[in-house]
Amino acid sequence: MSSPPLIPDPRPWAFTRAELTAGLRAFTGDPTLNISNIEEKDIPNRRPAVGRIRGLTVSCQSLSGNKVFNLALKEPQGTTRTGTAGAGRREVLFYRSLAGQLPVRVPQLLAAHPEGEWLVLNMLPEGIQP
């Protein structure tokens, strides 16, 4: 008998529409942006992860026109060592503090739970595989 998955399907989005709207407004610099639709999207070449990674297509309207964003929702699960921050919290700190200093392309963090229960990142366009 197999064990149940860490996060059972189906599960509603981990974030609120307001949290994602605020993140997209900050990302675009457009305070008139509003989300009109959120759909799940396949992520090409997705690598294994602890927890779940899902793709999102988010359609928005604003005074400057319609926009579509391809995003990734990461929902880390578990901890790795006693006495250290959980995996999700460390990821949030990485994207907020260190990602801009790396000499490689790193997705931009658009929104995140304060404790790292979920992160929404812009999906980088496909390129050369590492």
CB atoms within 10 A of CB 93: 13
Name residue 38's amino acid.
Answer: I
Range among 55-59, 79-83, 100-104, 120-124 with highest mean pLDDT value: 55-59
pLDDT value of residue 9: 47
**Mean pLDDT score of the chain:** 78
Window from 86-90, 103-107, 120-124 with minimum mean pLDDT: 86-90
pLDDT tier at 35, thresholds 50, 70, 90:
very high
Report the C-alpha gap between 30 and 81 in whole angstroms. 40
Write down the H helix ranges in the chain: 17-28, 87-97
pLDDT value of residue 49: 64
**Residue 45's closest CA among 130, 115, 120, 110?**
130
Full-prediction pTM beyond 0.85?
no
Over residues 29-38, mean pLDDT: 94
pLDDT value of residue 2: 47
- The answer on pLDDT for 129 being more than 60 is no
Looking at residue 48, the DSSP 8-state letter turns out to be P
- The answer on pLDDT for 87 being more than 50 is yes
Whole-angstrom CA distances from 115 to 31, 56, 88, 110 are 26, 21, 7, 15
The set of residues, in sequence order, having a beta carbon less than 8 Å from that of 123 and lying 6+ positions away, is 43, 55, 70, 71, 72, 107
